[in-house]
Amino acid sequence: MAWGILDVPAGKTVPGTVVLADRSDLPSEYGHIPAELLRHGTGNFANVVLSPQPTSSPNDPLNWPTWRKDLVLLITGLSAGVVGAYGPMLSPGFIVISEDLDISIDVLSQATAWVVLVIGLSLFVFNPMAKKIGRRPVYLACSIIMFTASIWGAFAKNYGSFLGSRVWGALGMAPYEILVQCTIADLYFVHQRATRIAAWNMFLLCGISGGSLISGYIIENQGWHWMFIWCAIIFGALLPLVYLFVPETAYIRPPLEQRFAGYDVGRGVTPEKAELAAAVEMSENTTKTTTDAESAPARIVGYGADDPKHSFWRSLQIFTGIYSHTSMLRIFIRPFIIFFYPGVFWGFLMYGATLTWIVVFSVVNASIFTVEPYNFSVSQTGLISLSPFIFTLLGEGISGPLNDYITIWLARKNHGIYEPEFRLPLIILPLIIGAAGFYGFGATIHYETHWSGPVLCFGLANMALACLNASVFPYILDAHNELSEEAFVAINARNFLTFGLTYFVNDWLAKSGALNVFLVLGSIYVGVVLTTIPLWIYGKRARYYIANNKFLQKFMQED
């Protein structure tokens, strides 16, 4: 295997390893289905083999027109943006809110910690439900929860009611933070995913930073209750859009070998089996009609080609079927097992050590910038978030398309074979940017530089998160696609880490100072990111051993 990735025994295939580019020197173990029978991309991607291979059914989400897929992504992305804002939106007004509710800033920051904890716990409910009954019911239920929680928060008059509204809202936040990636896997091919994940992540992270940016002015001029009122208005507008234009994207797709049951390598499609075969239909641009079933390769009827296309009214159904026959108990237990898969544990460390540290910024910014030497007002404290907002846009705009380009280029250099580890080289970028952000923030605060110093470093840390997620989430989707729901639940165990840190970070900051706090956080971040090196080397072998473990095969595979 090239570039330091350790290979598996010859002739063995590994989950996640797929043919992504047409090459004449394709290894023999990947040539059991001729490339000309497989569906390809179009335009600049005409020589890219689509993975996963769609069926011929018009109801297969992979076959939906691009505008319909992107509309689903836009609506779920906008919802994710508001969810992103919902968590830290009150941080610029912590001092004002704590005085109004007659509590300390520490108690108020602990309310944020409880929100983070409930998000992590609710994933153990909603993601198994999404795997069992589909994504659509979960999206609708959580949109309703967010709408009602916002109304509740707008009328909260004491800390108990305030905390109750925040916890109830946290239940609805979880799917938009983590289930959207599974929807992206439902809708898009491997070579398109990083760009779309970057788009979703842009909505989420811009919501986190942009919410604080706007909320400072709203809290200062209208009062903090109006933050909840505006959230209720926005979710009230998004709820009907989710109902009308986010149909079910879960789809049961038979294995590729089953769809090629009638193909006999070396002869083409046997006349006896051609009528019964469920082969993948070739691309419109590369199809050539032939009447000789023995000539290679013939075009035969694709699986699902005769399915009647679902009407718009059919797409409005909330429950459309059961998408997993595995028991809920097994689905619930799986995240605890998959957490220890090397790639998933790496994703937990990467996502946790970055996003948790970013949440720390939102918790401590008010206590840093509203006192000497900066003396910012509430609205000025909110303006700090303009930096991460801009840097997040820049990071997502670069990282997603660049990651997809790198993976296709590496696959072509690797005889047309794609490995999920090809998502990892881009990690070099967030390693450098993130280290500068975390170390720089602590140093500039400690030495009381001009406010532009820490604000710039705050933006760099957010840009690092944007670039990092463009590698982490596509890697998990590609390496463990069949268990993506469980994998993302496991990764979001980082919420428990965030809960613990936000619970005491203000005390830690007061006792140790910004330099020591962010020196520790930055060093942990660098150490965690460097674990990408062993994953690059051993990742493929780890996937191979997992796939060949008899217990894991039995317990983790679908019934």
Q: Which amino acid is at 377?
A: S
Q: At what angle do helices 484-491 and 105-133 cross, to 10 degrees?
A: 170
CA–CA separation, 23 vs 308, rounded Å? 36
DSSP letter assigned to residue 57: -
Looking at the domain assignment, is residue 402 inside a domain?
yes
Phi, psi of 418 (to 5 degrees): -100, 135
Residue in the block written with tokens 């909330």: 318
Number of H-type helices and E-type strands within the chain: 21, 4
Chain-centroid distance of CA 550 in Å reads 29
State residue 192's pLDDT score: 94
In this structure, are residues 138 and 129 in contact, taking their beta carbons and an 8 Å threshold? yes
- Containing domain of residue 356, as a range? 61-252+325-556
Contacts of 68 (CB under 8 A, 6+ apart): none
Where residue 77 sits, what CATH number does that domain have?
A: 1.20.1250.20
Give domain status of residue 143, yes or no. yes
Q: Considering the domain boundaries, does residue 489 fall inside one?
A: yes
Pairing assessment for the beta strands 417-418 and 18-19 based on DSSP bridges? antiparallel
pLDDT of residue 109: 77
How long a stretch of residues is the chain? 559
Asked if residue 84 belongs to a domain, the reply is yes
Q: Are 201 and 213 in contact (CB under 8 A)?
A: no
Which residue is listed with tokens 């948790």?
356
**How far apart are the C-alpha atoms of 200 and 435, rounded to whole Å?**
24
Residue 267's pLDDT is what? 43
Q: Would you call 263 helix, strand, or coil by DSSP? A: strand
Tokens found for residue 99: 């005085």
Sign of the torsion formed by the C-alpha atoms of 201, 203, 205 and 208:
negative
Classify each residue of 478-488 as buried b or exposed e, where b means 16 or more C-beta atoms within 10 Å of its C-beta. Answer: bbbbebbbbbb
In a domain, 139, yes or no: yes
d(CA 76, CA 185) in angstroms, rounded, equals 14
What is the Cα–Cα distance from 399 to 390, expressed in whole angstroms? Answer: 14
Residues 6+ apart with CB under 8 A from 421: 5, 475, 535, 536, 539, 540
* 291 found inside a domain: no
Cβ-proximal residues to 545 (8 Å cutoff; 6+ apart), any chain = none
Residue at 34 is within a domain = no
Report the distance separating Cα 343 and Cα 64, nearest Å: 31
What are the angstrom distances between the C-alpha of 303 and each of 168, 225, 306?
44, 54, 8
Residues in the chain where the model's pLDDT stays below 50 = 264-301
Give yes or no for a contact between 391 and 460, defined as CB atoms under 8 angstroms apart: yes
What is the model's pLDDT at position 91? 81
- Strand, helix or coil for residue 300: coil
pLDDT at position 427: 96
Q: Which residues pair with 48 in a beta bridge?
A: 21
- 7 lies in some domain: no
| HSE (side-chain half, CA atoms, 13 Å) at 506 | 20
Total of domains in the chain: 1
Please, how many CA atoms are within 13 Å of residue 418, restricted to the half-sphere of its CB? 26
So what's the pLDDT on residue 385?
84
